[in-house]
Structure 1
């Protein structure tokens, strides 16, 4: 807790000490748009809008072979039926071998500050799950908190409402989704599980692939824009995981998930900063672990703080950000029943590097990650990363 207080104090001091104005739509969090928002706002009289983003990465763990990967290529398509009705979809190719639909929803504008949405959508939790285009974040890899706990890219099928109260500088989203899938039949008389201590909730994403649903979940997010350069987010998610008809009555087939997220983004002159905290409380994990043989914790927690500074003059079109991110995350923040806490799941990453935006929509990245966990004597490989990212 003392570390958290010290780091948040440093975060505040850095904000107050920053100089030179940051006015780019890419880096000002109050103006920043994600891919879907750009499609919805960028028709300019055209019926069809097309875009894409992609990442090519190189990861070199200490004393091991490196890996080159076309990590993802996402094709973006938007269609404007009329002034009120639009369709947005994202088609993702991962590792040159897997194809997914990342988003596919209809947006119907009831008024200037209220829209109804239905389809496959991103769950609004934290920063990166909604803003994961490679030019919008520092570091070759997304923060680990946004992979293990949130986990990006987290999307489900649902319906809801979104908009903003301009007088209050407050944006809002509220959706009803299907939830994580926690279990399946093991083909005999037991259950296999998708959630675990090592990967958290990540394995439970259904990704709209013949998703099963037996109880809806609720997701809500509020964004505040009232102070210059600052964007604050409060996210909430609650509901139960989903199980198929033949096993949903088994003890441990489903668990309850309640998640709270806080996030902040700031930009002033050549300085940018962001921070995020996510806590998830899980119910009935003892029965789930007994039924599946997994080691899922009853609480997951993670947070990070990051500061970055543009080393080039603000008048330049190019930007070169030097950044530092401190991240701590624990998928065994608490455990239930006889499950013993595994300190290997209590992890710390320190990432530092450069993001060189050679043109709007093109970034070259390089960073080094110092990685560790709380298990005595355990060795986690540090990692060198390089990447190329594009978005248009």
Structure 2
């Protein structure tokens, strides 16, 4: 409104004759009012604003077709000191994410997600692109997607917003054997097969097996988005089945050559599920990785050799503990969830060295004053096959403020 008022004032001043000038004619005043009226219509967004041609391209008013959102996780982490030098207490702006969704037409859609981790990269200022793809919506059962895609594997990689899992951190299985957040350049199809089945199937750039290790599983194998160290491509897919109310099951897979020279396929199979019965929820995930000829990958021996197979699982029980009597006023939509999770990860199956096999036991509470905000606190006990002072990780207490907007 201030801009509109300013333009009216300017038009009025222009219509006043200068001291030594002549009075404006009626025709000039009408022309000025008409021009101003057109500008006011554009400012108010009435009708479809025409494209504006500039030296750098065409721009259109897209606010009515574009939405923005995002999520964030702010952490306080206190790790115990057990002699391995990894004990610490720190505040961490873990991640802030912004996503933009724009309907380019009634059947073409663009989605992008940008992420700042740990306050951003202070060295070079880069902002990682977590997703950036086009959807071509052809039919509910068959659609096309292309761009920077999330690999459709496991319980967390697609649904990684903080209000989708109870713990302060994503399960460690979904960092080591499914390297969340795992995104690749690629293209494929997706759709719904009836009301209870959805599918996704993509061709993607593959993983760099030389960066695999017993210490971090396949996590280090993620490449830059514009890189693929061999001429092969990977295939990944997902089938989501909801056989009954409140039961969600997902079957997902990945296969691709991870060797720079020769052939050494990495094949991943995963299953996850979740079921709610009243206030009780049970959930779990199992991941199995088969690595053909791991000796040909050229891995760093200092980080431990992987086995032909790596596998892991987690099981979780959760209970909604907030009394209904407290759900009123500002807390009408509030929820509180107490949970416990146990997980094991083995990256050296078939190898006598067991020092990289690990387990995690996590208990905690997640309080949601509203559905899109979660205040989480948990304690995690960690164990592996190494002696005191040599463990890969430590016990820890963590508080996280997670939010989605």
* 2:234 aligned with 1:223: no
**Corresponding residue number in structure 1 for 2:356:** 345
User: 1 or 2 for the larger relative contact order (CA 8 Å, sep ≥6)?
Assistant: 1
**In the alignment, which residue of structure 2 is the partner of 1:301?**
311
Once the 2 structures are TM-superposed, how far is the Cα of residue 82 of structure 1 from its aligned partner? 1.2
Report deviation, 1:212: 4.3
Which of 35, 57, 67 aligns to 2:90? It is 67
Q: Distance in 2 between matches of 1:366 and 1:293?
A: 35
User: Where does residue 109 of structure 1 map in the other structure?
Assistant: 137
SS of the aligned residue for 1:226 comes to: coil
Whether the aligned pair in 2 keeps the contact of 1:214 and 1:242 (CA below 8 Å) is no
Aligned to 2:206: 179
Judge conservation of contact 2:259–2:296 (CA < 8 Å) in 1: no
Q: Deviations over 1:101-156 (max 9, x none)?
A: 00011001111222110111111111111111011101111111000111101111
Number of residues paired by the alignment? 324
Aligned-residue RMSD, C-alpha: 2.0
Tell me the TM-score normalized by structure 1. 0.78
2-side partners of 1:322 and 1:220: how far apart?
Answer: 33
* In structure 2, C-alpha distance between the alignment counterparts of 1:213 and 1:103, rounded to whole Å: 23
Query: Is 1:283 aligned to 2:300, yes or no?
Result: no
The answer to whether 1:58 aligns with 2:47 is: no
Go from structure 1 to structure 2 and tell me whether the alpha carbon gap of 1:207 and 1:391 turns closer, same or farther (over 3 Å shift).
farther
- Tell me the residue number matched to 1:141: 169
For the Cα contact (< 8 Å) 1:86–1:108, is it kept in 2?
yes
Is 2:347 the partner of 1:320? no
In structure 2, the gaps of 5 or more residues are 1-62, 82-86, 122-126
Runs of 4+ with >3 A deviation:
209-213, 289-294, 313-316, 374-380
Q: Is the 8 A contact 1:155 1:207 kept in 2?
A: no
**Secondary structure of 2:314 counterpart:** strand
> Is residue 371 of structure 1 aligned with residue 387 of structure 2?
no
SS of the residue aligned with 2:163?
Answer: helix
CA drift at 1:211: 4.4
Are 1:236 and 2:246 an aligned pair? no
Contact 2:248–2:273 under 8 Å retained in 1: yes
Q: How many angstroms apart in 2 are the aligned matches of 1:194 and 1:59?
A: 28
The aligned residue for residue 41 of structure 1 is none
Give 2:160's aligned residue: 132
SS at match of 2:297: helix
Q: 2:189·2:202 contact (CA, 8 Å) conserved in 1?
A: yes
